[in-house]
Chains A and B, each alone.
Chain A
Amino acid sequence: MNNIKQKNDKKQKNLVISFYKSFKSFGASLPVLLGVVLLLGLFRENVSPQLISSIFRGDFFRDVILGSVFGSISAGNPITSYIIGAELLKEGVSLFAVTAFLVAWVTVGIIQLPAEAAILGKQFALKRNLISFVLSMLVSLATVTAWMMIR
């Protein structure tokens, strides 16, 4: 009987310690997350879809690279990227550039980079974002080519 009570007490203690550790670890990351949220607020207020669409000029390779660059520095709900992407298509921007923009929007995070570097390590964050940037263009080329072949 005493043994069971001791075991239960130990389990409870372990549970409390586990959650305390998770709170502590999370608390250490909180200032960076707050900094990212404040930067996102600035971005949302100052970068409009019109500003992004005014940058594309019709040169295939340049537009694909620009799509990835602007997707990388943009942030927010992916729905916003779909709406901007659809507007860009209406204005004659190539689907390759728009797809690169959509992919980079969700896979590369320049605004979140300081938080990623602080929490997961500088090397990892830089490598991951750089590879994701290159992949956004390759995914765009592969997706649109396959889509055109199916059509």
Chain B
Amino acid sequence: MSTRCHVATRKGLFTLERGRSGWAIGRTAFLGDNCTIAMHDPRSGDLLVALNHGHFGVKMHRSRDGGATWQEIATPTYPEKPADYVPKTPVEGSPPDWSLKLVWSLAPGGADEPGVIWCGTLPGGLFRSGDGGDSWELNRPLWDDPLREEWFGGGADYPGIHSICVDPRDSRHVVIGISCGGVWHTGDGGQSWQTAGSGLRAEFMPPERQFEPNVQDPHRVAQCRANPDVLWVQHHNGIFRSTDAGASWQEFTGVQPSVFGFAVAVHPADPDTAWLVPATKDEKRCPTDGRVVVNRTRDGGRSFQTLRKGLPQEHAYDLVFRHALDVDETGERLAVGSTTGSLWLSEDGGDSWQTLSSNLPPIYAVHFEQ
């Protein structure tokens, strides 16, 4: 059972630790800095964080002593744009700049490839490190794919890779989620990439284009560790699941109070159990009726239970971003962080919640150590 949880916020990194008397903030780092994502590497014990300094750009830091000290490491850098390069016009917006805007996702490679870390960014580049973050290389097969140029921003000016799922059975099999570029996967460690199969639906597109894989806006993709063929997606306009590694998708409609949201987490041992944090779609983006709730299914999406014990049920306008819901390796401990700085934890699979703080900076990500 995890006893540490890292909370990446607009104003720094906060580390929760569980002692005998319960959870408390044990450590604060980078106070004042915009910390967009944090990752614990269970293979090495390393901690990685990405900072986004408004003036000085994106920077990466690593700790090799559990967060006591940090060192700045290499930042993923886009290659020089060829002088004769003529970009395609994407579906929406302008062609992306070849310059790092945000580190949006970090994921350790497989157990058999120590040092490998995947890094998803805005404006749509996927980077790989083979040395724990000392250096990074843009994955060119994906970046150079003509379909990549059709990606567009969802809530941001540029497209971004927010989800990276490395198959525990085969490290060469990696699934990624892009807003907006759908779900893609590689079976050869990133040498070639394909879009996921049919079934995802983009309500925001003209009818004849709604089922195109490359225009989808999966807000978050979560993979079941025990059954990696099962993928859950909280999509811009719905909840989807695949049981065949993304070859096909099933949509769950009518889920109350809403099918809109950003985050989804799946039980590491049970592919039928997943949690989502619904919000009123789409331009409002706040909890329905001012009540924060978590939806849980235990039967693969046939039914959803709305959990609210311990969560604010009056005049609460917390929004939970896509990385701000996490579950530990037992499936019992969950953490949820909000845009208004509320942080809740559950130790019973979401049945009940305790408030750790209502006064943190806006929370971007919560991440349990395994």
Q: State yes or no: do A and B come from one complex.
A: no
Interface residues of A (CB under 8 A from B): none
Interface residues of B (CB under 8 A from A): none
